[in-house]
Amino acid sequence: MRKTSKDKGARKASQRGPSQRQLRAGELVRRGLAEIIARGTIQDPDLIERAITISEVRMSPDMRHATCYVAPLGGSLTGGDTEKIVAALTRVKSYLRGQLAHEVTFKYMPDLAFAADTSFDRAEAVDRLLHSPKVAQDLGPEDGEEDD
């Protein structure tokens, strides 16, 4: 079977990453959800008096699904705290979706899915690794520093 130029274009588009439209829509959803959560109108016991950050929202290419990456504000992601937050947001996702319809205007309101954002933990692990004595000895003194 011979591949057409249309097949090649579709493959390249999927390898490029999200489109500008997906990025803009994801940012609109992120801002809207942040405002809804900040209002404090959610009545779930695991979310009351909780500071939550929504670090990123990734939209599917058809704009019908949004994956929202969440983390407790100022807290580590290790432990059950983040799992409780993700479970609580999943329980109230229909309420959030309804409130989001008042915040943003889309042809179809995306279905929301929540996931723990582990990027902060990964960045912390890389930072610890770079500042470890074993790595520091391999790097040697930085430019401009003099040995005493």
Domains of the chain (ranges; CATH) run 18-137 (3.30.300.20)
31-58 average pLDDT score? 88
- Kindly indicate the confidence band of residue 77, based on its pLDDT and cuts at 50, 70 and 90: very low
Question: Residue 148: its pLDDT value, please?
Answer: 46
pLDDT at 2 over 80: no
- Cβ atoms 26, 59 nearer than 8 A: yes
Identify each DSSP E strand in the chain by its residue range. Answer: 52-59, 65-72, 111-116
The dihedral over CA atoms of 66, 56, 77, 100, expressed in degrees to the nearest 10, equals -50
pLDDT at 33 over 70: yes
- Kindly indicate the confidence band of residue 18, based on its pLDDT and cuts at 50, 70 and 90: confident
